[in-house]
Amino acid sequence: MFYRKFGKSDWEVSILGFGCMRFPTLDGIPISENVNLEEAAAMIRHAVDQGINYLDTAYTYHNGKSEVILGRALRGGYREKVRLATKSPVWLVENPADFDRFLDEQLKRLETDHIDYYLFHGLNRRRWKDIRELDLLDRAERAVRDGRVGEIGFSFHDDFESFREIVDGFDRWSLCQIQYNYMDVDNQAGERGLRYASEKGLAVVVMEPLLGGNLARPPREIAELFQSFPVRRTPAEWALLWVWEQPGISTVLSGMSSMRQLEENLRTAELSGRHRLSEEELGLIEEVRRRYRARAAVPCTACGYCKPCPNGVDITENLTLYNSLVMYDDQLTPRFRYHRFLTEAERASSCTGCGECEERCPQGIKVSELMPEVHAVLGKGKAPSPRPQ
């Protein structure tokens, strides 16, 4: 295993981290609470034995079971070999006392007296406002002082401007966790956010390097492109190698669902530590990116000129989720994010068709005509077909 410096600290983190959101399940349903406990524990211990020293979970993963499973798996001396990261369920916190109530419950679940990295979960502009109004940053600092928490961080789902506001809004951040892969260089925090946080001295933890598994299961035309390249690797290997190539990243989380996936990722991590992608290999990823984008249903570039919507609709996020569903034929994740991360006012269903955004859109997108379809698809409807190439 190879290691990198973790932000401003002297500690070094394994380049591959274990994300505990996608344990193997007995019912075959991803992220359900029916986890195969024996296999999950074996995977965690094997990962630690192979040098992985950063484990990431959250209060809600596997319907609350992930932290419990992780705590049990780390018995017998394994807890001392790793650093644990988990997350405060910000959307469930209604008053300052709730912060400590959840934290204390998580310590019991994880069977530990301290959490090395405690993150505010899934921050966006709205949740950041809630955190400040409830004075939760002060609560987090108290938890550091009394030893229950080692360092404070946040995970993130919003745009770059919101990301920069959050990074600059608190001087005790130790780390941030962002979604990043070769398709998300301009999405959410994106490459600008990665650079910004790294230059500020934050450790950058990457989640979704395979975009929820979508980049490991490409459509036929993209799979054929990978297969035609002289260097033969799986789509998952290409995606992970590309992420590890990017400067400023401390560790890359993978939510592995089988021992086979764990072994494959361990081999890819070993390859990454010894091999740099050539110009030709980077060119392959560029062409893959171009072909994915050609599948998009709407030519939205997320430039933001349509903002602000007078009715509060998050136009770019709605179109990004809509495109994601089409590009990757992912029926689950975009719909989940539509309901989890957007308020009712921000969803496409709140569009009144006033047309103000259309006057500002450089791409000439007929937003008012699209929004009803976007809501029908992301809310409950049938997935649209990819745009013709």
With helix as H, strand as E and coil as C, how does the chain read?
A: CCEEECCCCCCEEECEEEECCCCCECCCCCCCCCECHHHHHHHHHHHHHCCCCEEECCCCHHHHCHHHHHHHHCCCCCHHHCEEEEEECHHHCCCHHHHHHHHHHHHHHHCCCCEEEEEEEEECHHHHHHHHHCCHHHHHHHHHHCCCEEEEEEEECCCHHHHHHHHHCCCCEEEEEEECCCCCCCCCCHHHHHHHHHHCCCEEEEECCCCCCHHHCCCHHHHHHHHHCCCCCCHHHHHHHHHHHCCCCCEEEECCCCHHHHHHHHHHHHHHHHCCCCHHHHHHHHHHHHHHHHCCCCCCCCCCCCCCCCCCCCHHHHHHHHHHHHHHCCCCHHHHHHHHHCCCCCCHHHCCCCCHHHHHCCCCCCHHHHHHHHHHHHHCCCCCCCCCC
User: Has residue 389 got a pLDDT over 60?
Assistant: no
pLDDT in tens, 198-223: 999 999 999 999 998 889 999 999 99
310: pLDDT strictly greater than 80: yes
pLDDT of 279 reads: 96
Percent of all residues in the chain with a pLDDT value above 70, rounded to a whole number? 98
The answer as to whether 290 is a domain residue is: no
Beta-bridge mates of residue 251: 205
Coil vs helix vs strand at 183: coil
Same domain, 280 and 332: no
Among 284, 311, 332, residue at a domain's last position: 284
Least confident piece of the model among 85-99, 107-121, 165-179, 298-312: 298-312
Mean pLDDT across 281-290: 97
Residue 383 has a pLDDT of: 52
> What CATH number does residue 145 fall under?
3.20.20.100
Residues 257 and 303 in one domain: no
Tokens read off for 119: 């993150």
In a domain, 289, yes or no: no
CA distance 211 to 362: 28
Residue 134 has pLDDT above 70, yes or no: yes
Instruction: Catalytic residue, from 3, 54, 59, 61: name it.
Output: 61
Average pLDDT over residues 309-336: 89
Q: What is the mean pLDDT of residues 332-347?
A: 89
Q: Are residues 227 and 300 in the same domain?
A: no
**pLDDT, mean of residues 154-176:** 96
Active site residue 61: yes
Report pLDDT for 286: 97
| Tally of domains in the chain | 2
pLDDT single digits (tens) 363-381: 889 999 999 999 999 997 5
161 and 304 share a domain? no
pLDDT range class, residue 384, cuts 50, 70, 90: low
pTM: 0.87
pLDDT for residue 297 is more than 90: no
* Domain end (from 284, 315, 335): 284
Residues 104 and 141 in one domain: yes
17-76 pLDDT, tens digit per residue, is 999 999 999 988 778 889 999 999 999 999 999 999 999 999 999 999 999 999 999 999
274 and 164 share one domain: yes
Q: What percent of the chain has pLDDT over 90?
A: 81
| Average pLDDT, rounded, for the chain | 93
Domain edge (last residue) among 284, 305, 327 = 284
Q: Does residue 9 share a domain with residue 153?
A: yes
Is 60 exceeded by the pLDDT of residue 163? yes
Q: Residues 342, 225: one domain? A: no
In this prediction, residue 388 carries a pLDDT of 41
Same domain, 310 and 184: no
Q: Looking at the structure, tell me whether residues 185 and 331 fall in a common domain.
A: no
Q: Would residue 348 count as lying in a domain?
A: yes
Instruction: Indicate whether 388 and 261 sit together in one domain.
Output: no
Domain that holds residue 111: 3-284
Same domain, 74 and 118: yes
Has residue 92 got a pLDDT over 90? Answer: yes
